[in-house]
Homo-oligomer: A and B are copies of this chain.
Amino acid sequence: MTTASATGRPRLWAGIDIGATKIHIVVADGQGQILGRARKKTRSERGVDAVLERVERCLDEACDLASVSRPALAGVGLGAPSPVAADGTVVNAPNMGWRKLPLARILRARWHQPVCVENDCNLGTLGEYEFGAGRGATTLVGLFVGTGLGGGVIDRHEMMRGHNRMAAEVGHMVVEAHGRRCGCGRVGCLEAYASKAGIAGRLRELQISPEPTPLLDDLDPDELSSLNSSVIARAYRAGDAAMRIAVDEAAWYLGVGVASLIALLGPDHIVVGGGVVEALGDSYLAKVRASARVATFPAEAFAGVHIVRSQLGDDAVALGAVAHARRELGTGAPPARRRKTRTAAGS
């Protein structure tokens, strides 16, 4: 029961995921079926206008593959690595050099079509909720483990944004109040332990030991800050001792964070995505689960929680942007449950 346009063709939406390094775009129908997909480097160092031109070209490529013209899209959703104000302004994306950028307004004026903008991890969580591993959840937490650690929460079908629209900053819950310094400048944040930055931090500590490990010998310590997931997985699988410790500890800490999230939010589903879990697979997730089981209070609260891998992988944010556009920009109802507000105008 895909909502169809007046011509009888299913309405199509574009979902845009803008990150510091890449632009990833899908064109999909209201059920999350992807008909076109395109990717480009962001090149944020070239400035906003240059980035937006790249977005536009990337969007046109995805539209071509989906055999739809850009003006014929029902709407465009976009995720940015920043808190996003209600009017679609990107508040602060340090990795992009964007601050108080009225992105929704700019793109509407440029493209003459409906555009909505939201935080990328909120959208990744929404994507999993609508089309992926979080379908059917009552209270869903999404965790995205990359260089940093982002998250989102969907509760009773709605994004939990908080009063300030800055909620779900799971990476900056404090788990070691006297611990390691985080990239954010504070001390002991979950991100400083459970992300790739956390793994790199632990490796730095371990590498100053008298016997450096064989695989990591080749890595320049300065490169640890851009440690990628496949290097992590390769060293881990090869049995590199330092990497084993660093990754196992990162998984343990993520489990501790998961326990705090269960105590606080009472979710039935926690979806874990991002490069680290993709590269390390289910054995990593089993360690997260084991740690969370021990640390969760009350014990009964752990029993009902499904801790699962992302199903959408790289498409999570872009598909979440499609779902968000469909919700916000019209003919928005998902198949199963209609929202009470903002109901469909046409069909």
> A interface vs B, CB < 8 Å?
83, 91-92, 137-139, 155, 160-170, 172-179, 182, 184, 186-187, 189, 253, 256-257, 259-261, 263-268, 294-295, 297-298, 300-301, 304, 340
Contact = CB atoms under 8 A, between A and B. Distances in A.
A166 B304 CA distance: 11
B163 A266 contact: yes
7 contacts: A160-B265, A166-B263, A169-B264, A172-B260, A173-B260, A173-B263, A187-B295
B167 A265 contact: yes
Number of copies: 2
A314 B240 CA distance: 57
Contact of A166 (B162, B294, B295, B301): B301
A115 B260 CA distance: 32
Contact of A268 (B164, B186, B260, B266): B164
A294 B174 CA distance: 12
Nearest to A187: B295
Given A295-B186, A340-B340, A264 B165 contact: no
A304 B304 CA distance: 35
Please report whether the interface of chain A is mostly helix, strand, loop or mixed according to DSSP. Answer: loop
Of A165, A169, A178, chain B has the most CB atoms within 10 Å of the CB of A169
Of A155, A187, A267, chain B has the most CB atoms within 10 Å of the CB of A155
Contacts of A266: 161-168
Nearest to A155: B160
A340 B294 CA distance: 40
B164 A256 contact: no
A138 B163 contact: yes
Contact of A83 (B137, B178, B256, B298): B298
Given A164-B268, A170-B264, A263-B169, A189 B297 contact: yes
Given A174-B175, A177-B253, 6 more contacts: A155-B162, A162-B266, A163-B266, A163-B267, A167-B264, A172-B259
Those 8 A-B pairs whose CB atoms lie nearest each other, nearest first? A162-B266, A167-B266, A163-B268, A172-B297, A169-B263, A173-B260, A138-B163, A172-B263
Contacts of A165: 266
Contacts of A263: 166-167, 169-170, 172-173
Nearest to A193: B177
Contact of A139 (B83, B162, B267): B162
B173 A295 contact: no
A300 B166 contact: yes
B163 A256 contact: no
Contacts of A155: 155, 160, 162
